[in-house]
Amino acid sequence: MISKPEEAKVSVYDRGFLYGDSVFETIRTYAGEPFALDEHLARLERSAARVAITPPLPRVDFALEIRRAIRAARNPESYVRVMITRGTGPMGLDTGLAEQALRVVLVEPLQSLPATVYRDGVSVITFKTRRAADEVAQGAKVSNYLTSMMALKEARAAGAHEALILDGSGDVLEGTTSNVFIVEGATLSTPPEEAGILVGITRAHVLETAHELGVAVKIERLPLDRVRRADEVFITSTLREIVPVIQVDAQPIGGHVPGRTTHAIHAAFRRKVGLAAEPLPWEQIRD
């Protein structure tokens, strides 16, 4: 059933509300079509399996439902959040108390970042912590984002765009809602899944794009000192695509401007998603 946001209702006994007992995906559209929809739904299924939630719909039916919701929203471009909670039931931590899983598809107008972000780059800070779900649901996109929220709050207080999460050893894992890449010479590097990161859909397409461009790729742990010494740093996410980082903890990266490899990969990624005829984000600024 398609409803206006103010008409939609979820029980206060829903476990997603009570315990963060849910998984989700974020999807965006290009020319009104959801990008990498099957990949996102496959990851949603994997996330649900890792926390023992049975999806309420087969993937093909979920895809049809998402497409219907996007069409009904009539946005030029959309941001879609798909959630599956374990469902409602009596209060208690026992997962057996839950009834049938609940699904929610939220469709909002896509709000793109200012073009200056891609032209000038952004600053980030680092935030050392240990994610709550690392041991029991590593790799699952669960709805408990409290650590990320606190890290981003600290980043905003410092005037930064994003916070990079560090593990107990001081290695860079990922951003609060992004994956991290560095460029050293002609080589692109990013942390491995076994480090405890959430493997992003955009991350996978960036790696594929780099291979197509002939850029050497390494999947390896990234100590913070190495990130700070990198020639280029960028972050990736579904909504932001590829954002150049020019400063980490007040330390300039490279020449304190977005790097050539970052822009080359972003340009190739934009061609991949069907935007070859569109100006690149950093070319959309009129002085």
73 shares a domain with 211: no
173 shares a domain with 77: no
Q: What is the pTM of this model?
A: 0.93
154 shares a domain with 75: no
Number of domains in the chain: 2
Query: What are the CA-CA distances from residue 207 to residues 63, 187, 230 (Å)?
Result: 25, 12, 18
- Closest Cα to residue 114, out of 257, 282, 259? 282
What are the pLDDT tens digits along the chain (287 aa)?
788 888 889 999 999 999 999 999 999 999 999 999 999 999 999 999 999 999 999 999 999 999 999 999 999 999 999 999 999 999 999 999 998 999 999 999 999 999 999 999 999 999 997 654 455 667 789 888 888 999 999 999 999 999 999 998 899 999 999 999 999 999 999 999 999 899 999 999 999 999 999 999 999 999 999 999 999 999 999 999 999 999 999 999 999 999 999 999 999 999 999 998 888 988 877 65
145 shares a domain with 102: no
Looking at residue 31, which CATH number applies to its domain?
A: 3.30.470.10
What residue numbers bound the domain in which 176 lies?
Answer: 115-274
- Specify if 212 maps to a domain: yes
- Closest Cα to residue 224, out of 179, 165, 178? 165
Looking at residue 123, which CATH number applies to its domain?
A: 3.20.10.10
- Report the alpha-carbon distance of residue 240 to residue 175 in Å, rounded: 12
125 shares a domain with 19: no
- Specify if 8 maps to a domain: no
- Report the alpha-carbon distance of residue 192 to residue 197 in Å, rounded: 7
Both tokens assigned to 252? 């300039």
- Specify if 3 maps to a domain: no
